[in-house]
Amino acid sequence: MSNIQEQERQYIINTYNRQPGVNPLLVKGEGALAWDEEGKRYLDLLGGLAVNAVGHCHPRVVKAVQEQVATLIHTSNLYYTAPQVELARILVEQTFGGRVFFANSGAEANEAAIKITRKYAGLTQGPGRFAIITAERSFHGRTLATVTATGQEKYQRGFEPLAEGFRYATFNDLDSFARRVDRETAGIMIEPVQGEGGVYPAEAGFIQGLRELCDRENLLLIFDEVQCGMGRTGRLWGYENYGVKPDIVTMAKGLGGGLPIGVMLAREGVDATFKPGDHASTFGGNPVVCRAAVEVLKILLEEPFLEQVREKGELFKNGLLKLAKGYPGLVREVRGLGLIMALELAVPLASAVQRRCQERGMLINAIGENIIRFLPPLVITVEQLEQAIDELEQVLKEAEAGEPS
Ligand SMILES: Cc1ncc(COP(=O)(O)O)c(C=O)c1O
């Protein structure tokens, strides 16, 4: 065990279950590649869990951050800073109008969405409207409210009493959502592509139906795009795949180029619900993070970046489908959109496959016993994706022969 691994056990609370000798100690990254302390190179298909959207240490992000760090690192939100306003302007122009609130993580962005939804419903429809319907298998964060919004009991156990005011319905089942609406309902929150739950894209009819349901019942529709936004699906926002706009969208992960950020954007009319003093964040909209995010958005918006993400997503999906065909006893399903993809195994070997890929120099993510998730940097090359498919094929071949276990 290296010194760092020993110290990690001694000083850091064990919430991530890192294993010495199994989880590498990473020291450097560039594009879709990362290196450990022994100089071993990894093809990174985990991408910091969708954070490294423009790749590790993108030179333009590095330059923007270096310039800003040397000029002004932080001020209070009592003062104006230019990077914050520039980022907000780009986000508003690239979505559906309205205004933004800046936070530091996905969970905080969702907290802001929950709070503004409750206040808006109370103001527009009277007291007693506070409930938000979310989907089973969803993931919205780990704060007390967002873990309650998360439709998975395993994340909630032990932390009761949970926050009040959340109801659950079945993803991709419009009737299930419609049945949950009552006089307490204020809004509906979903991920257009469920990420942590195992990569399940919403069906177009479901999303369109939710929009109609919300319009009919005067509910706010919230899309949590913390994972599936920022170009991940090959469109800047996941909702663009469905031709449906929400009232509120939340963003985080890939937006900061590796720095912590969270954004809650509310459409015009809803945005004015928050008044001075209603909500705040000391670090929210920090100038360094905002400079990084402005650069990330400029990169994502340069043609043909997103078109290439769609093409690479297609190529990767076809490669995975070929594996599914070649190994029908091992692979049950291929799912995803753009460069958020999953391979569902027919056998509980996800961790073993993840470990074997890592030994071979490739980082992937096992969800539960059966699902392998891929969230590569969007800048990954076609050659690197082809290499990833070859590596996976070798590992599946070994698995078929009973080798990784
Ligand atoms: C869809 C979604 N929402 C919210 C979160 C929480 O984000 P954070 O870990 O930045 O709080 C995540 C994290 O995985 C997520 O995937």
Nearest CA to ligand 1 atom 4: 140
Spatial distance between the Cα atoms of 250 and 243, rounded to a whole number of angstroms:
17
The total number of structural domains in the chain stands at 2
- Find the 322 Cα to ligand 1 centroid distance in Å: 31
Buried b (16+ CB within 10 A) or exposed e, 84-99: beebbeebbeebbebb
From the CA of 108, give the closest atom in ligand 1: 11
Q: Last residue of some domain: 275, 301, 327?
A: 301
Between strands 26-30 and 33-36, the pairing is antiparallel
Is the domain of 375 the same as that of 326? yes
Which of 102, 139, 177, 316 is catalytic? The answer is 139
Among 244, 266, 301, which residue terminates a domain? 301
> What is the predicted pLDDT for the residue at 128?
96
What is the band of 288 on the pLDDT scale with cuts at 50, 70, 90? very high
Whether residues 217 and 311 fall in one domain:
no
pLDDT exceeds 90 at position 20: no
pLDDT at 51 > cutoff 90: yes
Whether residues 190 and 128 share a domain: the answer is yes
Same domain as 203, residue 347: no
Residues 96 and 231 in one domain: yes
CB-based contact 46:375 (threshold 8 Å): yes
Which residue's CA is minimally distant from atom 9 of ligand 1?
Answer: 106
pLDDT digits (tens, 9 = 90+) for 59-118: 999 999 999 999 999 999 999 999 999 999 999 999 998 999 999 999 999 999 999 999
Helix (H) or strand (E) run with residue 314 in it: helix 305-326
Can you give the residue range of the structural domain that contains 26? Answer: 3-57+304-400
The answer on 296 and 376 residing in a single domain is no
Instruction: List, in sequence order, every residue forming a beta bridge with 391; answer none if it has no partner.
Output: none
Q: How far is the CA of 390 from the centre of ligand 1 (A)?
A: 30
**Top-confidence residue, 19 or 193:** 193
The whole-number pLDDT of residue 244 equals: 98
Q: Say whether pLDDT at 222 is over 90.
A: yes
The fraction of the chain above a pLDDT of 70, given in percent, is 99
Q: Tell whether 34 and 115 lie within a shared domain.
A: no
pLDDT at 1 over 90: no
Amino acid at 219: L
Confidence of residue 404 (pLDDT cuts 50, 70, 90): low
pLDDT of residue 352 exceeding 90: yes
355 CA distance to ligand 1 middle (Å): 24
Q: Is 253 a catalytic residue?
A: yes
- Same domain, yes or no: 327 and 221: no
Q: Is residue 356 part of a domain?
A: yes
Tokens of 190: 């979903």
The pLDDT assigned to 2 comes to 78
Q: Which residues line ligand 1 (CB under 6 A)?
A: 105-107, 110, 139-141, 191, 195-196, 224, 226-227, 252
- Locate the ligand 1 atom nearest the alpha carbon of residue 262 and give its number: 10
Q: Are residues 267 and 373 in the same domain?
A: no
Smallest CA-to-CA distance from 117 within 278, 273, 276 is with: 273
Triad 307, 340, 399: Cα angle to 5°:
125
Q: 64 lies in a domain?
A: no
For residue 222, give both structure tokens.
């919230």
Beta strands (DSSP E) in 236-381 are 248-251, 262-266, 331-337, 340-345, 362-363, 365-367, 371-374
- Under 8 Å CB-to-CB from 275, ≥6 apart: which residues? none
Q: What is d(CA 239, CA 228) in angstroms, rounded to the nearest whole number?
A: 9
CA angle, 383 then 389 then 394, to 5°: 125
CATH number at residue 99: 3.40.640.10
The CATH code of the domain that includes 319 is: 3.90.1150.10
Residues 287 and 338 in one domain: no
333 assigned to some structural domain: yes
Task: Tell me whether residue 63 is in a domain.
Answer: no
β-strands 340-345, 371-374: how paired? antiparallel
Alpha carbons 54 and 68: distance in angstroms, whole number: 19
Active site residue 177: no
- When pLDDT is averaged across residues 3-15 and rounded to a whole number, the result is 93
Q: Is residue 65 part of a domain?
A: no
Q: What's the full length of the chain, in residues?
A: 405
Q: Identify any residues that bridge with 101 across adjacent strands, giving them in sequence order.
A: 264
pLDDT band at 295 (very low <50, low <70, confident <90, very high): very high
φ/ψ of residue 367, rounded to 5: -115, 115
- 283 pLDDT exceeds 90? yes
Q: How much is the pLDDT for 405?
A: 52
283: tokens are 């670090």
Mean pLDDT of 244-270: 98
| Residue 173 designated active-site | no
Q: Mean pLDDT, to the nearest integer, of 164-175?
A: 98
Q: Which of 224, 247, 274, 316 is catalytic?
A: 224
Ligand 1 centroid–CA 109 distance in Å is 9
**Residue 62 belongs to some domain of the structure:** no
Q: Is residue 405 part of a domain?
A: no
* Co-location of 295 and 309 in the same domain: no
Mean pLDDT rounded to a whole number for the chain: 97
The C-alpha atoms of residue 75 and residue 225 are separated, in whole angstroms, by 28
The mean-pLDDT minimum among 18-27, 147-156, 234-243 falls in 18-27
- CA–centroid distance, 329 to ligand 1, in Å, is 33
Please state, in angstroms and rounded to a whole number, the distance separating the CA atoms of residues 340 and 394. Answer: 22
Of 301, 322, 352, the position where a domain reaches its end is 301
Q: Among 15, 148, 253, 365, which is best to mutate for testing ligand 1, by the most ligand atoms less than 8 A from CB?
A: 253
Q: Is 86 helix (H, G, I), strand (E, B) or coil?
A: helix
**Could you tell me the two tokens for 387?**
């290499």
Residue 253 lies in a domain: yes
Whether the pLDDT of residue 354 is over 80: the answer is yes
Does one domain contain both 342 and 230? no
**Residue 254 above 70 pLDDT?**
yes
Please list the alpha-helical segments (H only) found in 78-160: 82-93, 106-125, 144-149
